[in-house]
Structure 1
Amino acid sequence: MTNITQQSIKSANFETYLNRAGKGNSEVILFLHGSGPGVTSFANWRYALNACCESYDCLAPDLLGFGNSSHPEKLPKNRQEWMDLWINQLIELLDELDVQKAHLVGNSLGCSIALELLLEHPERFDKVVLMGPGGTPNTKLSHELARAKGFYNNPSPEKLRQIMSWFVYDAEAMAPIIDAVTDYRYETAMKPEVRISNDSIFATAAVPVPVTALRRIEHPVLLVHGRDDMVCSVESSYYYLEHIPNSQMHVFGKCGHWTQIEKQESFNHLIQNYFSNKI
């Protein structure tokens, strides 16, 4: 059973497809998904939204260029141009929903966007969870990530299923979820507008946030990582732990890049305790 509602929200410059659960709760959590072929916010966060909606108003939008949200008419030339568009999209969304302040949860690419939001709009956010972040100077460029970026060179359901299996620690145990996610994501990935946007995004490289900027972040930040993450190595979270002043870290053993799915009960319990000041 799902508590999630879905709608398109029009703002000045964007049309954002929003998954929402817990509308009416006073505290808001904004969930930001990662990248990859056919990714959507629903695929990333459906378990978390259902788990957290009793206490929080949970917002999980498809980012510009992904899923069912709008796509830029003129493709950005680099990652920073994409980042600027995502920041504007999310602030416009919060304004449309009359949300003045929210907690943040980012996954992978969503972590990089969360950090940019903290730097550009610090007053709009409270506590932050960064799950499986990358984009740091010591993040290892894995073969798994390189192969995932090449998905559109010769796309097929089989190729996507293989990529999805690299996201988890135990592919055999997770096979039913991998199969379901693959079917859903392949259909999304093959939409012409999604492929065009993703080709552009995958062709750009992350620009690490300078250490001087990280040290000025005053928000409480919880870093969550799978020890066995083969997409974004756990070293990246240790890097942020070193340079973000008010940070702490939780590492899950026998866990890959999909902490919110592989360790869903523990993850959902962890972030709610964090946001409610119990840890």
Structure 2
Amino acid sequence: MTNISQATIKTANYETYLNRSGEGNSEAILFLHGSGPGVAAIANWRYALQACSENYDCLAPDLFGFAQSSHPEILPKNRQDWMDQWVNQVIELLDELNLQKVHVVGNSLGCSIALELLLEYPERFDKVVLMGPGGTPNTKLSAELARAKNFYDNPSRKKLHQIMSWFVNEPEKMAPIIDGIIETRFETAMRPEVQRSNDSIFATATVPVPVTALNRIENQVLLVHGLNDRVCSVDSSYYLVEHLLNAQLHVFGRCGHWTQIEKKDEFNTLIQNYFAGKI
């Protein structure tokens, strides 16, 4: 079993809880998790950290305002303000770790952060994977995501379990995995600072990246989406592959929003072949 280490990395403005495997490998992958009640990087990326550690230095931080990383004392006033904080956190983390250039994999919200990083610091990133992106002009607020946003109106383990079952295409098949993480995720979600940050993030509206900006991103991008994603429709990836200069798209059938878990073996093979220049 691959050893995954945990440490809190202090930088100028943040304390970042970092999950890491494969330290010492010459190429690094930064994994950026998505949003939602009680989300943490390790739950999103455990399988990827195990699968990719033989060849890559794998970094999966809790983002600012999530889980065990630091939370804002003064809440950001809008989504772009949050986005600027996440971009700054990532760059400070990479600087602290002396990593000048890394690959990046984003999931959901993490895709939006990855695109912002490419706009602001393109020289710091090599190849990019965007898995289950949203935040595009044709991204619709699904009923499933709307329910997730309202979790804290009447929070319970049962309600969180229900929400997580909507993230996957075959909830019966994925039940053991959901059951295995529900307690930790609920405990994290109920921490006051986590709820405060979550409420602030979900109270802000996504600001799509302008087409003119997408057209100027030169990094190679692999879009990965579940065909049956009910949280962020595959239409979002069709939009991005149309407007990004150097993009390709892989769609998994019979798969929801958690491609990295529902299709973990195929996903981890796919991204490693992509980073290695085989596809």
TM-score range normalised by the length of the shorter chain: over 0.9
Matched with 1:194 is: 194
Separation of aligned partners in 1, 2:67 and 2:143 = 25
Matched with 2:204 is: 204
- Please state if 1:156 is matched with 2:156: yes
Higher mean C-alpha deviation, range 130-139 or range 183-192: 183-192
- Please state if 1:87 is matched with 2:95: no
Q: How big is the shift at 1:232?
A: 0.2
Matched with 1:272 is: 272
SS at match of 2:173: coil
Separation of aligned partners in 1, 2:231 and 2:2 = 29
Amino acid at match of 1:51: A
User: Per-residue displacement from partner, 1:207-242 (whole Å, max 9, x unpaired)?
Assistant: 000000000000000000000000000000000000
User: Per-residue displacement from partner, 1:56-92 (whole Å, max 9, x unpaired)?
Assistant: 0000000000010000110011000000000000000
Matched with 2:15 is: 15
SS at match of 1:145: helix
Matched with 1:216 is: 216
Q: How big is the shift at 1:3?
A: 1.6
Matched with 1:147 is: 147
Separation of aligned partners in 2, 1:2 and 1:170 = 28
Amino acid at match of 2:97: L
Separation of aligned partners in 2, 1:70 and 1:174 = 31
Matched with 1:60 is: 60
User: Per-residue displacement from partner, 1:171-228 (whole Å, max 9, x unpaired)?
Assistant: 0011111111222210110111101100100111110000000000000000000000
Q: Count the aligned residue pairs.
A: 279
Matches within 5 A, 1:99-114: 99-114=99-114
Separation of aligned partners in 1, 2:276 and 2:185 = 33
Q: How big is the shift at 1:2?
A: 3.9
Separation of aligned partners in 1, 2:229 and 2:99 = 33
- Please state if 1:170 is matched with 2:170: yes
Separation of aligned partners in 1, 2:242 and 2:144 = 26
Separation of aligned partners in 2, 1:141 and 1:100 = 36
TM-score scaled by length of structure 2: 0.99
CA contact (8 A) 2:31 2:45 kept: yes
Separation of aligned partners in 2, 1:220 and 1:3 = 30
Amino acid at match of 1:186: F
Question: What is the root-mean-square deviation in Å for CA atoms of aligned residues?
Answer: 0.5
SS at match of 1:172: helix
Separation of aligned partners in 2, 1:97 and 1:272 = 22
Amino acid at match of 2:258: W
Matched with 2:69 is: 69
Amino acid at match of 2:257: H
Name segments (4+ residues, structure 1) moved above 4 Å: none
TM-score scaled by length of structure 1: 0.99
Matched with 2:251 is: 251
Separation of aligned partners in 2, 1:105 and 1:205 = 23
CA contact (8 A) 2:128 2:222 kept: yes
Distance 1:2 1:54, change over 3 A: closer
Separation of aligned partners in 2, 1:121 and 1:268 = 26
Separation of aligned partners in 1, 2:30 and 2:181 = 22
SS at match of 2:139: coil
SS at match of 1:28: strand
SS at match of 1:208: coil
CA contact (8 A) 2:2 2:53 kept: no
Separation of aligned partners in 1, 2:166 and 2:49 = 24
User: In percent, how many aligned pairs have the same letter?
Assistant: 76
Q: Which runs of 5+ in 1 are unaligned?
A: none
Matched with 2:31 is: 31
